[in-house]
Amino acid sequence: MKKTKISQAIVALAMSAAVMAPAFAQHAGHAKASDSAAVQYRPDVTYTLRTDIADGKLVFVGETGAMKGVANPTLNVPEGAVVQINLVNGDGAVHDVSIPDFNVKSNQINDKGASTSIVFKADKKGVFTYICSLPGHVAAGMIGKIVVGGAVAAQVPQGADISQNPMMTGKPVGARGPQKLSVNLETTEIVGQLADGTTYKYWTFNNKVPGPFLRVRVGDTVEVNMANAKDSHMIHSVDFHSVTGPGGGAAVTQAAPGSTKSFTFKALNPGLYVYHCATPMVAQHISNGMYGMILVEPEGGLPKVDREFYVMQGELYTAQRHGTPGEAEFSLEKLLDENPEHLMFNGNHDALTKTHRMEAKVGETVRIFFGVGGPNATSSFHVIGEIFDRVYNLGDLTSPPLKNVQTVSVPPGGATMVEFKVEVPGRYILVDHALSRMEKGLAGFLHVVGKENRGVFHTASKPDADSGH
């Protein structure tokens, strides 16, 4: 089987929350009721193995990272971690993967390229075995070790934190009249942290992905000054979807390294708009992180809410597969095939799950300014456990909003504004409801704190797993 086909099989593994739940549930019956606030929709550690024949024996072969090509590699995981093991059939015989000590066993896979997975919680320390449970396959060589709580190799390297703080939404315009404003942007090329142990050379506006959230009023006159950093290698520019003029400003801001370009526009139309670099190859510049949003508030401003958050979805196309440590490199082939290895909110995998804490209190009204940088994938934006009370579809702030919406479709280069009241405490997960994308890094958390609201939601049962949605 060709490596490209195996790669496609790995990418195609359907490890969404709904698949994760049954396997995890087998070994999570001891969960406490308080765990309901910490539902986990992604594993802490993921390994991918391929079945093969080596030196006349049946073996598991590592597919990613330091264990790539290693027969029956030792899997090191922290105690208490949620672990996912993907298995790809590489030899055409019938196989499965099983860890008897954790009472987990995958489906059998019969054909070359077929794949399966198991998920479990490594809640006891020690050295255990993973095996193929088919008769005779352990004797034939399909057995490896999984070490729980042992020494785990340090993840390297480390890059700059390029993730955008979702709380940086700027000051509302309120009831003021039109003004003259200046916006200063700097385009930079920096090695940033993509995931644990993985970095990427991002191209950014103001060292963050997405770029700064800009907030103006309809009728404002806005001067845009765009400087390209001296140490850049590329020409960069900026195209504002809110601008009426050639290229949204891109035609006059093609700036070489070390130079600055400027233009002035009048904000004629209220709405929530995307901006991005528009230098050829435009899709590459956008994918590498060069996108952001500008809010043009209507006359009188927006209605007051308790919390506002700035969230954008993007894609990265890397030569290395998702999960490979080291510095990931751009892949033109995958970009043209529209096959991203990574999808993320606010720049990297940890932005809205570990780095920045989005929090609201029970009874508060939340507003999310949501946009898609892209460059290619449409988002089905959804907050698990909530319903959008109001959706300002396509960033339209003057038409009556849609009401009681579960999921909203946002195209690349598009935006929406959603509002909802949070009535029950817990951790709510922001997703693209094309849920396979969660396995490529696309998830965020909204933490709601406060007293229980038993009139809206209560249960006497104990949560036993990552129950899916």
Prior bond of 425 cis (ω within 30°) = no
Q: Do the annotations mark residue 137 as ligand-binding?
A: no
Report how far residue 405's alpha carbon sits from residue 427's, in angstroms, rounded to the nearest whole number.
20
Measured CA distances, 330 to 8, 198, 202, 420 (Å): 18, 13, 10, 38
Reduced to 3 DSSP states, what percent helix, strand and coil does the chain have, rounded to the nearest 5?
A: 15, 40, 45
Token reading at 141: 């060589």
Q: Do the annotations mark residue 95 as ligand-binding?
A: no
Prior bond of 157 cis (ω within 30°) = yes
Query: How many alpha carbons lie under 13 Å from residue 182 in its C-beta half-sphere?
Result: 4
Chain mean position to CA 197: 16
| Size of the chain, expressed as the number of residues it contains | 469
Q: How many CB atoms lie within 10 A of CB 263?
A: 20
Report how far residue 26's alpha carbon sits from residue 48's, in angstroms, rounded to the nearest whole number.
21
Report how far residue 105's alpha carbon sits from residue 428's, in angstroms, rounded to the nearest whole number.
30
Q: Which amino acid is at 184?
A: N
Report how far residue 224's alpha carbon sits from residue 239's, in angstroms, rounded to the nearest whole number.
11
Cα-based angle 23, 354, 33 (whole degrees, multiple of 5): 50
3-class SS string, 255-314 = ECCCCEEEEEEECCCCEEEEEECCCCCHHHHHHCCCEEEEEEECCCCCCCCCEEEEEEEE
Q: Do the annotations mark residue 236 as ligand-binding?
A: yes
Q: Do the annotations mark residue 285 as ligand-binding?
A: yes
Token reading at 107: 């489906």
Q: Do the annotations mark residue 277 as ligand-binding?
A: yes
Q: How many CB atoms lie within 10 A of CB 89?
A: 24
C-beta separation of 173 from 212 below 8 A: no
- On the 0-12 / 13-18 / 19+ scale of CB atoms within 10 A, 444 is buried
Prior bond of 210 cis (ω within 30°) = yes
Helix, coil or strand: residue 150: coil
Residues in binding site for Cu cation: 236, 241, 276-277, 285, 290, 433
Please state the residue numbers annotated as binding site.
236, 241, 276-277, 285, 290, 433
